[in-house]
Amino acid sequence: MMYRFLIVDDEYYIRQHIRCCIPWENYDFQYAGEASSVSQAMEFLEHNGVELILLDISMPGQSGMDLLKLLDAKKRPHVIILTGFATFEYAREALKYGVSDYLLKPIKPETLTDAVISLKETLDRENNRTKALLQLEWTSAVIEQETQRNFFRSLYTGHVPARGEELLETYGIRPSSRYIVLILDTISKDKQNKHNGQKQADRLAMNNCAEQILSPFGFYLITPDGYGRSVIILEGLPSSISGQELTDLVQKLVKERFHLSLLSGYSISASGKAGDILAAYQNSLQFFWLRTIYGETIDVSQVFMPSLPVLDSLTALNNRLRLDLSGKQDTAVLRVLDKIFLLMKKHLFPIHALESEIVSLMGIAIHHAAERHLDILSSENDWNSLSCTDLIQSGLRLEEIKETFARLFSAFMRDQEQGDHHFIEEVVLQSQKIIDRDFAKACLSLNTIASELLISPSYLSRSFTKIQGISLTSYITKCRMEHARDLLQHTEMTIAQISEQSGYSDLFYFSKRFKSFWGVSPSRYRLTGASDMEVNKED
């Protein structure tokens, strides 16, 4: 660190000598200026800070002693007195004002160097001590602030800490006073901003604006709750302004300066006691959630527990949702989901009723996923953010909550469809292996293959046709006819033997099927070969 010095002496050559006789920079000192009188020195010091004044004690008019008297003792820089032999006793008197040293004129470089080195050591110690004190003060302030935040976070979760009333008084909240408890938060411009540093910056801007609005109203305290929302505790309110008007003032300032929109909720505490502050916070939070979910313009006085017919309608919709999920009716599922959320919006479900329905929807999702072995924890399913508390308390609007479930259910059906396709492919592959292995058995049929694969014949039939493009019975016939043709062409076996080897116990029926498939009878094919064949692969 460089220290700045000022030379005060009425003689020009002495000032120049002091400035140039030693390499000041080598000792971390920088020339700041010079003055030839006390008045010049005072004018300079009004606009410039220095750590050292080299002061001539004897000057025309006001003396160096006068300058010492004019300087504020608390903010006085270090002073090195410059004096001649004739004023030595006068200089000793100046030492009572806390000057660091005195030097006899003419000033010798080595003497000045020693004084400067000694002073630098003193200044370094003072700086280190100041830094340590500032660090200690900063650390203490951070610890105190974090202790306060932890106290209120704990209080807002419903746990009144030990010595709660005493600590509230320490933080300025008097038990005999009433307080408005106001919850504020910014509305993120996009979903990404909810989870990055921009949200924190927006909240800081909001708090700065809130402090400007609140300062004329007396005591207030701003602390974050467990979700980072700002909770303002303000002592009383003048009769000329309401909690809503106060919120509107903050909203207006935040919008003008930072183009941000806010959500809010407020309530009045019965007293400054911990239980009453907690109750006011919880009431404010209900207000805040309702305005967050339904929109700022909601009339909270119209929020009631839904009637039994409405709840019955909701139950019927939930049952319909289960059926449509099971039937993989994608469009129907989303349509029912729309109806569920429209019903809740139309009848303004209170928070606990909203939570109950969200729990029901989660239960439907979990049950459906468990039945079909779907990966409900997949990140693409948004399940990591799907908890009742998070959906209600994380600032999502009702439409966004619906979209979250819509994405989840759509992902379920997409995963189920992909899983079904893989399963169908495996079923068809296994059925082909059975046919290739057993086509010579007369008992082989759609039913026997389905039984071996432990699936229904109708499901096997649909699946096989979907993958192969022909029916399973047609595929069996094809395998048998190709095998019979090869035997006729390459062996001396009788047609009866070939019929049996191809899975037909009835020779007449075999001949009929062969002619239907290849266009010629087995006996004619053996005589003429493939020249007369006209393949008919239809069953």
Q: Specify the 3-state DSSP secondary structure of 320.
A: helix
Question: What are the distances in angstroms from CA 464 to CA 387, 423, 456, 460, 468?
Answer: 42, 12, 12, 6, 6
Q: Please state the pTM of the whole predicted model.
A: 0.54
User: What pLDDT is stored for residue 409 in this prediction?
Assistant: 83
User: What pLDDT is stored for residue 187 in this prediction?
Assistant: 81
Domains defined for the chain, CATH in brackets: 3-128 (3.40.50.2300), 158-301 (3.30.70.270), 308-419 (no CATH), 424-528 (1.10.10.60)
Question: What are the distances in angstroms from CA 277 to CA 163, 445, 486?
Answer: 15, 77, 93
Residues of the chain with confidence (pLDDT) below 50: 192, 379-381, 384-385, 537-539
CA distance 277 to 173: 10
Q: Specify the 3-state DSSP secondary structure of 431.
A: helix
Rg (CA), the chain: 46
User: What pLDDT is stored for residue 8 in this prediction?
Assistant: 96
